[in-house]
Amino acid sequence: MSPQHKTLLTAAFAALGPERVTRGLKATGHGWRDCFPALAMSGKPDALARSFDKRWRKEHFVSTLLGVRVGVILEIVTAWDHQEGELRALAAEWLELNRTAVPTGPVVGA
């Protein structure tokens, strides 16, 4: 994983916050119903996906919810799908450095 990719991913982690990154690491799937961003943002499978069932540009919707550029969301989704182990390791490292941050709640249904 390149330094540029790591920078984008850590920007996504910072936007999510430690609590959401921790929830995202519990993900096991690779669809919008059960992937890292879905669990990170909503806390449970299907919750985020239900909020945008009729949207075809899901990355744009999620980027707006999170307040980051679409490229950041695309990077995290791509890394989750193709470099899951490296993403998990980077997230664990980021969490270790950011333990004292304030917890955040789910975005969906707020």
Is the model's pLDDT at 28 over the cut of 50? yes
Task: Give the type of residue at 32.
Answer: W
pTM: predicted TM-score of the whole model, two decimal places: 0.76
pLDDT digits (tens, 9 = 90+) for 41-89: 877 776 666 666 666 677 877 888 888 888 888 888 899 999 999 999 9
Alpha-carbon distances, residue 74 vs 5, 14, 96 (angstroms): 11, 16, 24
**Mean pLDDT, the chain, as a whole number?**
82
